[in-house]
Amino acid sequence: MSGTDWTRLAKSAVKVVAVFALGIVLAGVIFAYFQNLVVLALAIIALPIVFVLAKKLFKKYIEGKYVLVVRE
């Protein structure tokens, strides 16, 4: 019986969540562009904040406890 590669699984899960969040933000940006330029600016600012928060949450709660991340 083969073991589960938790590192690859976690990286894939993070990528899926990041792509999903990016899609939502981009849809919001497109919608905001046609509605209000202030909302567009806020959506552009929100994207890197969401990315940084997701990365911090991964490091705090997942990396080292459930997943061993090996950086090459």
Tell me the per-residue pLDDT of 23-57, one tens digit each, with 9 for 90 and over: 888 887 777 677 777 777 777 888 888 888 888 88
Is residue 70 in a domain?
no
pLDDT at 1: 44
CB neighbours of 9 closer than 8 A, spacing ≥ 6? 67
Residue 71 included in any domain: no
Other beta carbons within 10 Å of 43: 19
Count of the separate structural domains present in the chain: 1
Q: What is the pLDDT of residue 2?
A: 58
Domain of residue 21, residue span:
6-62
The torsion angle over the Cα atoms of residues 12, 23, 47 and 41, rounded to 10 degrees, is: 170
pLDDT at 32: 67
> For the chain, how many residues are written?
72
Q: Which residues contact 38 (CB under 8 A, 6 or more apart)?
A: none
